[in-house]
Amino acid sequence: MSSRKDLANAIRALAMDAVEAAKSGHPGMPMGMADIAEVLWNDFLKHNPGNPKWANRDRFVLSNGHGSMLIYALLHLSGYALPMAELKNFRQLHSKTAGHPEASETPGVETTTGPLGQGLANAVGMALAEKVLAQRFNRDGMDIVDHRTFVFLGDGCLMEGISHEAASLAGTLGLGKLIAVWDDNGISIDGEVEGWFTDDTPKRFEAYGWNVIRGVDGHDPAAIKTAIEQAEASNKPTLICARTVIGFGAPNKQGKESCHGAPLGKDEIAAARAQLGWNHAPFEIPQDIYAGWDAKAKGTERESAWNTLFARYRAAHPELAAEFERRQSGKLPENFSTAADAWIAKLQMEGPAVASRKASQMALDAFGPLLPELIGGSADLAGSNLTIWKGSKDVVKGGESANYVHYGVREFGMGAIANGLALHGGFRPYDATFLVFSDYARNAVRMSALIPTPTIHVYTHDSIGLGEDGPTHQPVEHLASLRYIPNNPVWRPCDAVESAVSWKAAIERVDGPSCLVFSRQTLVHQSRTDEQVQQIARGGYVLSDPASTRFDVILIATGSEVEVAMQAMRILADKGVAARVVSMPCTQVFDAQPIEYREGVLPDWCRKRIAIEAGITDFWRKYVGLDGEVVGLDRFGASAPAEKLYAYFGITAEAVVDRYARLV
C-alpha cells in the first residue's frame, strides 16, 4: 500500500512534468499543496468520478487557478475522464487541461478560475446554494441536500478586494459548510509577500465571523486531517491556515518565487525526483499509486447510497422530489413560456407608462411565482433597482421559501457569488446594481459569459436619465463596454412590454448570462401588432413604418431613446420625410438573426441611417456606417434633472431632425 507521501508525490511529479512539457505554467503551488490535497481528496471529499455532476457531491474549487496542474492531477489520479494524454497536452490548443481550469472543458472542474479571488466568491455562492436548497427540500431523516464546499486559495486571492466582500458575507450568512484552505507560503510572482501583504489574516477572518484554524503544517497529513475534522465540526465557515513551502521537493528552488510561474527545468526536476524518492519516468504513475488514488468504487457507492435515500424521499414527498429533479436538470416549468407570453400580451394591451425598472419589478411579480428556482439580490439598492418582488424572502430568515440575498455594497462579490449559485445547480440567480457600478462587477460579468453561467445581471439608472446624482452615477460608456463582452447579450428595453420580453429571454437562456438594463425615468408605451410583439425577442424589429413602402431614413434606437426616435419620425413626416423606426433592445440577439431577417429590418438600399442612444456613439457605426449619423453622448454627464440634461446634450427629436439634414 502506497504511503501518503507517495500519493502526494504523484501530484508533484505530474505538475513538474506537465509544466516542463508545456514550457510554461505554475509548478510551485501544486507541489506545495499536494499533501493537503491528498488528505482532502482521499479522506474527506464526497464525489464520484463516474458522475461529475452528481447532485449531492462536495464541491471543490481551486481559487488559485494558476496552479491548475493540481486539480488536473487530482482528477486524473482519482479516476475522472481525464486521461494521461490530456496531461501531456497541458496548455495546448483544444486540450482539456488549459492553463487555468475551465468548467466547460474539463469533467470535474466546478468553475473556471484564474482571476484571483473569484473562486472563493464562487465557493460562497455554492455554499449558499447548498444551504438554501437544504432549507427547501430536506425533511426529517431525509437530508437529500447535505454536502460541503471546499476551496483552495493563495495569498493573491486574499489580497484581492473580492475576497473581503465574499468572506464578509459568508460569515454573516453563517455558511458552516464552507471550508477554505489558505496556502500560506509567503510567495507571489514578485517574491516574498512580506513587502506588500502583512495583514493579520487569521484575525481578519475571525472578525468576519469565521472559524479560524491557525498554524497548520501543510506538509503533515495528520495535522491536515485534524484541521479538516475540526472545520467540519464547526457551524461557521472555516479558514484553515496551512503553512506550506512553494515548490516543495525541488531542492534549489523550493520556497522561492523562481518556481511560482515557470518550469523548473530538467536539472531541477531530476534533483526533485531524487529528493522526493520518485524513481519513475516523466508521466509514469505506478499501478499501486493509481490504486491508492482510485475513487471510482467509493464514489459509486456514495452515489448509490444517496439514490436509495432519494427513492425513499420520492415515495414520501413525490411533489418535492419532482421539483428537485426538475431544478437540478435546469429545465424550466412547462407552463413558463405560455404564461410569460400571456403576461406580455396583457402588458401590450394595457399599455402602462412606467419606468423600465418598475416594469422589471412587474415582470418579477408575474414570473416569480412560476419559478421557485429564482433567487435574486441587490448591492444595497433594492429600493432603487426594484428587485424585490411580492414573493421575495430574505435568505437569512426566509426559511424554506428563501430566495433573496441582501448583498450589501459588494458589487464584484455579488456577481461572482451569483455565478456560484448558478454553477451549483438548482437556481436561476439574478443580481442588481446601478449600471454605472457594473464597472465594479465587470470581471464577474465577464466570467459568467466565459464559464458560462445563466446569471442575470440587472442594471438600472441606465443613462443621464438618472439625473441629479450627476456624472459619477451616469453611465456613458457602459452599454457599449458590456456589449463587447462575448456571449453576453445586453437588453435595453424601451417600455414595459420590451422589459418583460427581456426578462423572459434571460430566464430561458441556458448557455450564458444576460444583462438587463433599465431606466429610472418613466417611459412611453409603444403601440405594436401581435407580430411586432413576437419580433421583440429577435433583438431588433421595425416598430414604425411610413405608409409608403419606400422610406427616406432609418432611425435606430434603444431604451428611452426609442420615444425620441418616434417623435423625430413624426416631425420628419410633417416635413414630407418618410422615416422607419427600428427598436433594437438587444444588438447581440439581432446580429445572430438570419441575414434575411436583418436585411428586412435594415435594408442595404437605405444608407441614410441615424442611431440614437444616450451613450458612446462609436458602437453604432456598425449599423449606420461612416456615412450615417449617431445622436449620443461622447462625454461625461452633469448634475441636473433628466429632462434638462437630454436637452442640454442634444439627445432630442429636434437634434435627430437636424442630423437628417446632414444626410441629404
Catalytic residues: 411
Q: Report which of 422, 482, 413 is spatially closest to residue 451, judged by C-alpha positions.
A: 422
Neighbouring CB atoms inside 10 A of 73's CB total 27
Residue 551 contacts residue 578 (beta carbons within 8 Å): yes
Determine the length of the chain: 664
Neighbouring CB atoms inside 10 A of 530's CB total 9
* CA 277 from centre of chain: 43
Q: Report which of 561, 557, 520 is spatially closest to residue 649, judged by C-alpha positions.
A: 561
Q: What are the Cα distances from residue 36, in Å, to 30, 238, 293?
A: 10, 15, 14
Q: Report which of 92, 89, 138 is spatially closest to residue 309, judged by C-alpha positions.
A: 138
Distance, CA of 328 to CA of 23 (rounded, Å): 40
Residue 63 contacts residue 111 (beta carbons within 8 Å): no
List, as one string, the DSSP characters of 456-491: EEEEES-SGGG-TT-TTT--SSHHHHHHTSTT--EE
Helix (H, G, I), strand (E, B) or coil at 182: strand
Distance, CA of 295 to CA of 44 (rounded, Å): 11
The answer, yes or no, to whether the previous bond of 452 is cis (omega within 30 of 0) is yes
* CA 143 from centre of chain: 28
- Kindly state the DSSP code that residue 92 receives in the 8-state scheme: -
Q: What is the tally of helices (H) and strands (E) in the chain? A: 27, 18
Distance, CA of 183 to CA of 343 (rounded, Å): 52
Q: Which residue has the cell 466547460?
A: 104
- Kindly state the DSSP code that residue 522 receives in the 8-state scheme: B
Residue 584 contacts residue 556 (beta carbons within 8 Å): yes
Spell out a b/e string for 183-204, using b for 16 or more CB atoms within 10 Å of the CB, else e: bbbbbbeeeebeeeeeeebbeb
